[in-house]
Structure 1
Amino acid sequence: MSPLWRDPGVPFAHGIDQRGVIMKQVLLTTAALLALTGSTFAADMAVKAPPAPIPAPVFSWSGCYIGAHVGGGVLHDDTTVGFGLAVAGRGAGAVAGGQLGCNYQTGLFVFGIEGEGYWSGLKVEEDSNYGPGFATSFEAKNKWDATVAARFGYALDRTLVYGKIGWAWGGFDYSSTVTTGGVVAGTAGASGTLDGLLLGVGAEYAFAPNWTTKFEYNYIGYGSKSLDWSACDGGGCGYVGSYPVSADKHIFKVGVNYLFNFGGAPVVARY
């Protein structure tokens, strides 16, 4: 064996052992590097790809709902009272009530039916003077309304713009007083239910998964109807005849609805 393999001052046999130690160190270092490379590769393989984004839900208007509303309006009345006098005038008042209905959405179009019932404080009051000592006081009061209508609209996600057409019924009270020389000479009155065409437009917005708010305008034309009038004067009270009344009104309302969606959760958009 060549003396190059041994350290001077170290016996020849010990030089062989020193070479073996060096070889072991090289092998151990190589194994450590391979183990480290494998661990890094395994760690890279263990990392999962980020999840795909979930599409945003698209609101569905399909379902039934129940709600409440408040508002106000203007009433126009044209009446021939029990004394044969014609009275026409305008008045205003508030309304408050509730609604229920159902919608069905197909694509961007929404179709439905809705019923409403509400208290009405709209009334017309007219005082007229027909000469010295002769005057009349008249009141027409709309007490309640009930409506049923078809709704049709266009939906932009949570916003619905719609129109409605239907029929309305309204309860009315009429009264009139005649004075002569500052003294009541007679009174007359009638009550009845008028009915007529309902037209409306509105916008509704879903501010929560099951809650919506709306703003709506209604026109109701009750047309003309004859009512039975009774009157009282110095000679007593009794039926005095059937006289025509007519009315129409404009109503502005704000309301809130709770929507029971068909099928539960909102529809998810497809891409």
Structure 2
Amino acid sequence: MKKFLLGAAALAAMAAPAFAADIQPRPYTKAPAYTAPALVYNWTGFYIGGHVGGAFAGNDSLQGSDARFLGGVQGGFDYQFAPNWVVGAEAQYSWLNGGSNNGVLFPGGTLVTSNTDQLGSVTGRVGYTWGPALLYAKGGYAWRDGNNLGVTVGGLPAGFTNNGNRNDGYTVGGGLEYMFAPNWSAKAEYQYYDFGKTTFTAGPADITGQSFRNDEHTVKVGVNYRFGWGGPAASKY
């Protein structure tokens, strides 16, 4: 029995190298290339921010034609759905410099000046987004600080009466917003404000019966900080 076991062990030792030679090495396969997941941008959430820009009165306005600097703040909420549409609401306040300007000089020598140094609005907005960009339109309620009128003849104050010198109106506009970093977006925006007309019902002869539109064209650039949902929200595989 002992001789049988020794013989079997010797045979196994002789056969092992040949069996190992018959085993082929596993073929090399290259690992698949890594593909980074695509980012999905989500506009849903609250935001706050600031803006700067310029205000330009309309041609038929008592504000004169000079551009005025403006700066202010905004805040709002957006909701993204379906999946590339965005709806939201925004409140905005702007301060304007140079509120009391050169005004309008009439042929009879009467100078009419006005003083608007604040603009505000509460608007809804709707937009279409692709990737980090959002193209939107907006519209709603507008407010301005008291448009205090001044009338002088030859540098001396003159009495007058008027109607329609409103501080409440409407606004429409649109713009482009872009997410440049998680939770941060930048925007460029045009906004038009209309506060109706002012008519002089009494005063110096050259202004009595004259009507003027109270409107503003504004161009703004701004930055928003978005809370929680404002940056890339998820990965799409």
TM-score (norm 1): 0.66
2:168 corresponds, among 173, 179, 195, to 195
Equivalent residue for 2:69, pick from 78, 94, 98: 94
Match of 1:266 in 2: 233
- Same amino acid, percent of matched pairs: 32
Q: Deviations over 1:73-130 (max 9, x none)?
A: 2113868xxxxxxx68534211100100000000110000000011013655223452
Letter in 2 for 1:217: Y
Does residue 55 of structure 2 align to residue 68 of structure 1?
no
Q: Residue 31 of structure 1: SS of its match in structure 2? A: helix
Letter in 1 for 2:221: V
**C-alpha separation in 1, matches of 2:171 and 2:66:** 19
> 1:222: how far off?
0.6
The equivalent residue for 2:92 is: 116
SS in 2 for 1:142: coil
User: Gaps spanning 5+ residues in structure 2: where?
Assistant: 1-9, 203-209
Question: Which amino acid letter does the alignment assign opposite residue 79 of structure 2?
Answer: Y
What's 2:7 paired with?
none
The change in CA–CA distance for 1:110 and 1:139 in structure 2 (over 3 A counts) is same
8 Å CA contact 1:77–1:88 kept in 2: the answer is: no
TM-score, structure 2 as length reference: 0.74
SS at match of 2:16: helix
AA partner of residue 108 (structure 1): N
Quick one: which of 214, 218, 222 aligns to 1:251?
Answer: 218
Cα displacement (A) at 1:28? 5.0
Greater relative contact order, per chain length (Cα 8 Å cut-off, separation 6+): 2
CA contact (8 A) 1:73 1:94 kept: yes
Q: Which residue of 2 aligns with 1:105?
A: 80
Inter-partner Cα distance in structure 2 for 1:124 and 1:104: 44
Q: For residues 44 and 66 of structure 2, what CA distance do their matches in structure 1 show?
A: 39
More strand by share: 1
**Whole-Å separation in 2 of the counterparts to 1:219 and 1:205:** 22
* CA shift digits 1:187-242 (9 cap, x unpaired): 5699x761111101111111111111111111111113689x9xxxxxxxxxxxxx
- Work out whether residues 125 and 138 of structure 2, in 8 Å CA contact, stay in contact via their aligned partners in 1: yes
Match of residue 110, structure 2, among 119, 124, 136 = 136
Q: Which residue of 1 aligns with 2:41?
A: 59
Superposed, 1:5-24 pairs within 5 Å as none
Q: 1:208 aligns with which of 176, 181, 184?
A: 181
Given candidates 172, 175, 180, the residue that maps to 2:150 is 175
Change (3 A) 1:111 1:214: same
Equivalent residue pairs, number: 217
Who is 1:150 aligned against?
124
For the pair shown, the structure with the greater C-alpha radius of gyration is: 1
